[in-house]
C-alpha cells in the first residue's frame, strides 16, 4: 500500500519473494512428474514480486 501512495518501501523483500517463487516454479517444472499446483501457486508470486520491486524503487 505504501508504494501505491507514493511512500517508497524497502525493495529487498519483494525481490527476495520473487526469487523464492521462481525457485519453487523451477522445482515444480524440473521434477520428473510435473507439480502443476505448485507451479500455479507460485507463478503469480514472480510477477507480483517483480512488479512490487519495480514500484518500490525511487
Task: Give me the pLDDT at residue 46, please.
Answer: 98
13-57 pLDDT, tens digit per residue, is 999 999 999 999 999 999 999 999 999 999 999 999 999 999 888
Local confidence band at 9 (pLDDT 50, 70, 90 cut-offs): confident
Residue 2 pLDDT > 70? no
On whether the CB atoms of residues 14 and 53 are closer than 8 A, the answer is yes
DSSP state of 35: -
Average pLDDT over residues 8-17: 88
Sequence-ordered list of residues with C-beta below 8 angstroms from that of 2, at least 6 positions apart, any chain = 8, 9
On whether the CB atoms of residues 15 and 49 are closer than 8 A, the answer is yes
The residue assigned the cell 517508497 is 8
Structural domain boundaries of the chain? 12-56
Q: What is the pTM of this model?
A: 0.83
Task: Give me the pLDDT at residue 6, please.
Answer: 72
On whether the CB atoms of residues 28 and 6 are closer than 8 A, the answer is no
Amino acid at each position: 500500500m505504501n508504494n501505491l501512495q507514493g511512500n517508497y518501501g524497502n525493495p529487498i523483500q519483494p525481490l527476495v519473494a520473487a526469487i523464492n517463487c521462481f525457485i519453487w516454479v523451477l522445482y515444480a517444472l524440473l521434477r520428473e512428474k510435473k507439480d502443476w499446483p505448485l507451479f500455479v501457486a507460485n507463478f503469480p508470486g514472480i510477477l507480483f514480486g517483480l512488479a512490487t520491486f519495480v514500484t518500490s524503487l525511487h
